[in-house]
Homo-oligomer: A and B are copies of this chain.
Amino acid sequence: MKKDTVKIVTIGGGSSYTPELVEGFIKRYDTLPVRELWLVDIEEGREKLETVGALAQRMVKKANLPMKVILSYDRQEALKDADFVTTQMRIGRLPARVEDERIPLSHGMIGQETNGAGGMFKAFRTIPVILDIVKDMQKLCPNAWMINFTNPAGMVTEAILRYTDFKKVIGLCNVPVNMVAGIAKILGVEENRVTLELQGVNHFIFATDVFVDGSSVMDTIVEKYANVTAEDTLAMKNFISLPYSPSFIRGLHAIPCPYHNYYFFTKEQLDEELEQWKEGTVRGEVVSQVEKELFALYSHQELDVKPKQLEQRGGARYSDAACNLIQSIYNDTGDIQYVDVRNNGAISNLPHDSAVEVACRITADGPKPIATGELKCTINGYVQMMKSFERMVVEAAVTGNRDLAVTALNMNPLCPSDELANVVIDELLEAHKAYLPQFQK
């Protein structure tokens, strides 16, 4: 049943990340023989796709592999008989992200593309498109796996699980692998000896158990993390590195993920973002600049490897995580990876048909979540809140129900008031009007 070679389609192929993905496939060619890599984008992205596509072709040529890199503006043609489809598109491109960040900040609310108001609107723009892609896949490559890295990855996965009967979707995020790395560093062991039990949803996970060589070291890591120095916290890029109080971590008896900073260090994160807002350096703006430089670099005809500078782009380990996942499915490796999948009871008091982010055994039949029981009492409230927020956002994304959007935002602790919820939503609806036909009914 294992095919000799595979065809991979990357929707949003013109992304600046693509060289990392290509490097990943080249490195793994022995175990994951990619026959064709289709980079698909929309007409508006032609310039970027041609630049990054040409670089990809030079990289493959240099590696001297029988892998074809094909550029396409015809999604349906590309999808035909695909084995894996990765989705990394950004509806409205970086300017939309800048709005997602700046509009909330202009009202003193955290603006951010995966949580809160910004994440909500990224979901509103993305979900209708992803549901269309699923429809195409069901026709053209019904046995392919969709590996989605488009944020908000959890909500995108939830939308597919609840509003289609397509089952072969996996959401992917680099937060868990970064947590493994950070925890390994704190413990002073190699990353590959560390595995986690996770409970939570995308960008909102807690490590509820930590293993080294399979043995639990939870009490040790809790005590170490209770006393961690600022530079050793798990904070990723964009987060201030602030340690929690020892009592909080001990009482929690779980390790929060970087994105929890927004919720537990709201004031500090907000202060920093307001500073960036004033200076015109919110994340979307910084990234726009980085992208410009990257594409300038990519266009050098002599460049035939992934440039170092890409690593500054953020999203560290994302492409690695994606390549590892595809490789494990293809080879039925049975290793543990941390992905967004249908819960199926793995977290027994979250809905069975919702997306959760947990440790899964990766097989040729896809990720099989390890049972974790009920949400630990100390984290139950927050995780439930985020899952309910996600479900409301997904429903609003599909139905275009503005009332539900207001209610959802009110239920998110990042939203300081009902009044602001209404104001910010109206401004974002206006700013993104072109991408939100469902709200214009």
Contact = CB atoms under 8 A, between A and B. Distances in A.
Taken together, the copies of this chain in the complex come to 4
Contacts of A384: 380-381, 384-385, 388
A216 B332 CA distance: 12
A17 B56 CA distance: 62
Interface string A231-255: 0000000000000111110111000
A381 B405 CA distance: 15
Interface of A: 1-2, 209, 211-216, 244-248, 250-252, 264-267, 332, 334-336, 343-349, 352, 361, 363-365, 368-374, 377-378, 380-382, 384-389, 391-392, 401-408, 410-411, 413, 416-419, 421-422
A401 B214 contact: no
Q: For the complex of A and B, list the 6 residue pairs with the smallest distance between their C-beta atoms, beginning with the closest.
A: A251-B407, A214-B364, A381-B385, A214-B332, A345-B348, A384-B384
Given A371-B369, A388-B377, A267 B332 contact: no
Contacts of A344: 348, 371-373
A8 to B, nearest CB: 19
B378 A248 contact: no
B252 A407 contact: yes
B404 A251 contact: yes
A250 B403 contact: yes
Contacts of A264: 410, 417-418
A377 B401 CA distance: 15
Contacts of A386: 381
A378 B411 contact: yes
Interface centre among A343, A364, A416 (most CB of B within 10 A): A364
A188 B41 CA distance: 45
Nearest to A348: B345
Given A387-B381, A416-B266, A211 B364 contact: yes
B365 A216 contact: yes
Contact of A251 (B248, B385, B405): B405
A417 B265 contact: yes
5 contacts: A1-B212, A245-B422, A247-B402, A251-B404, A378-B404
Nearest to A341: B371
